[in-house]
Structure 1
Amino acid sequence: MNRILVLVRHGQSEWNLKNLFTGWKDPDLTEKGVAEAVAAGEKLRDLRIRFDVAYTSVLTRAQHTLRLILDGIGQADLETIRDQALNERDYGELTGLNKDDARARFGEEQVHIWRRSFDVPPPGGESLKDTATRVLPYFEAEILPRVLKGENVLVAAHGNSLRALIMELEGLNGEEILARELDTGIPIVYRLSEDGEIVSKDVLKD
């Protein structure tokens, strides 16, 4: 029996649209983001997966995405667990800055290092390594055990918190996961064996 784990990055947020570093700030979805979440629900409905539990962060954009997906698959009353362990990477002093303005303020090379190195955090914020240190213990203690006992689990979260999960699931190193782009509103469907090995992976793009 395959065990199903589905990961979905939230739909486009208001700050994604404005090209701002968002982190733990709490903008909602744009109209496009709502449409992406609705489309994600339609794709999952076509697979006819019945989920046993859903997980999300404490941030509005992820929770809104999850609600729209659950409405779309006819599981609006599904048990849903929210935890800040699944929040986006904290961008510290970059939070709220337009990415072009950040380059002008700190220098293009420095901003590139903060964005694309595995273990160098921006001032007052988290690196991807720090984010993984926060996310992975929660995943291993709360989410993965439910998958491994045969439950179908849906996680709606953020680009970097999901990168941490994917790094663990796929055995990637820091450079490999940093090169992995996650599109907004696109479900990634993993089927796992009883020992947590990946049997198959499907990215539900159009």
Structure 2
Amino acid sequence: MATAMSHQSIGSLVSHRSSSSSTISESLREPLKVATKGFKIDSSLSYTSRRKRNFSKIEAIASKTPSVSYNTPLSPSKNITHNSPKKPKEAALILIRHGESLWNAKNLFTGCVDVPLTEKGVEEAIEAGKRISNIPVDVIFTSSLIRAQMTAMLAMIQHRRKKVPIILHNESEQAKTWSQVFSEETKSQSIPVIPAWQLNERMYGELQGLNKQETAERYGKQQVHEWRRSYDIPPPKGESLEMCAERAVAYFEENIEPKLAAGKNVMIAAHGNSLRSIIMYLDKLTCQEVISLELSTGIPLLYIFKEGKFMKRGSPVGPTEAGVYAYTKRLAQYRQKLDENSEVICS
């Protein structure tokens, strides 16, 4: 349980718009029909043996996967040379829960309803961006919901590299064609943002839009607590955390982990339950541990991916904190290059 609660204490230590296409709408209406590649969880689950089996597959996928068309000149995975030809690839993984939304502020069940951030949520996203402003980011994944996409965009505006996050529209061939960028120089100064409904908040079914307090009074506190905090009990016509984990972790394994294995630095801006599901996978939590895991809005969490393992590094304090960059040699070298470039610009 101490592992599960560690994320809750991180914050105290330091202080979409995809177009509304019919494709995404239909997917959201049938979230439980997605193939999950055999992802299954039980109360005693440990991911260790499964991760060993998967990593060889991930490495094979990564070796065949073409790099993202957006170049990253200062990425440590591309610009720092090594004496030995085959150093183990390492990459940064940043997780950010979106800032406060308008329905969070009204104490309403939100789920997959698409509502934007409050002013406080905007400030939280900006603060998150300041904390990661020196950490390399090559590609961003978000949910298909505007509150997660706003958080990602506002956070990246704070980054020292000043690259422009560009949402990729892959919902149709026309959308792909119309959103192409034809300047290689512009691409090199951009970061692709990939929306995925599989990273959405869990669908709360018939609770969506209801006031949480009024719902507790109507159905009883114990019943509402089970809907909200149990692992495998869904609300009426909604998803349980287990169902949310099946789609979120399957997407992480198939689309995000190969990027990390290829040395790409990844940021994920998503939601409380989809991120809890991914953290369950990264930290090998049981279903009993994950239901006690709380994530603060707008507090980034950093992991280092190396040799098929995820190492939790907590939350970066801010752009002036040097300690976070000492976690790996390549992060330290990346920070040094940023500082050298800033000196050249200012001189």
- TM (norm. structure 2) is 0.57
Selected match of 1:199 from 284, 305, 311: 311
The residue type equivalent to 1:102 in the other structure is: T
Match of 2:275 in 1: 162
For residue 32 of structure 1, report the CA deviation from its aligned partner: 0.5
Percent identity between matched residues is 48
Question: 2:236 aligned with 1:123, yes or no?
Answer: yes
2:96–2:299 CA contact under 8 A, matched in 1: yes
Gapped regions of structure 2 (runs ≥ 5): 1-88, 165-189, 319-347
For residue 199 of structure 1, report the CA deviation from its aligned partner: 2.8
Quote the Cα distance in structure 2 between the aligned partners of 1:200 and 1:113.
Answer: 29
**For 1:45-84, what aligned pairs fall within 5 Å after superposition?**
45=133, 48-73=134-159, 74-76=162-164, 77-84=190-197
2:90–2:260 CA contact under 8 A, matched in 1: no
The residue type equivalent to 1:181 in the other structure is: E
- Count matched residues: 203
Selected match of 2:216 from 103, 106, 112: 103
RMSD (Å), alpha carbons: 1.2
2:90–2:261 CA contact under 8 A, matched in 1: no
Selected match of 1:34 from 98, 101, 122: 122
1:192–1:200 CA contact under 8 A, matched in 2: no
Q: Secondary structure at the match of 2:269?
A: strand
Match of 2:338 in 1: none
Quote the Cα distance in structure 2 between the aligned partners of 1:36 and 1:180.
Answer: 20
Match of 2:284 in 1: 171
Larger relative strand fraction: 1
Query: Which has the higher mean CA deviation after the structures are superposed, 80-89 or 1-10?
Result: 1-10
1:36–1:184 CA contact under 8 A, matched in 2: yes
For residue 198 of structure 1, report the CA deviation from its aligned partner: 2.4
Larger Rg: 2
For residue 205 of structure 1, report the CA deviation from its aligned partner: 5.9
Quote the Cα distance in structure 1 between the aligned partners of 2:115 and 2:214.
Answer: 19
For residue 202 of structure 1, report the CA deviation from its aligned partner: 1.5
Quote the Cα distance in structure 2 between the aligned partners of 1:33 and 1:204.
Answer: 19
C-alpha spacing 1:3/1:28, structure 2 compared with 1 (3 Å): same
The residue type equivalent to 1:65 in the other structure is: T
Selected match of 1:144 from 232, 251, 257: 257
Question: 2:90 aligned with 1:90, yes or no?
Answer: no
1:43–1:204 CA contact under 8 A, matched in 2: yes
For residue 148 of structure 1, report the CA deviation from its aligned partner: 1.4
C-alpha spacing 1:175/1:12, structure 2 compared with 1 (3 Å): same
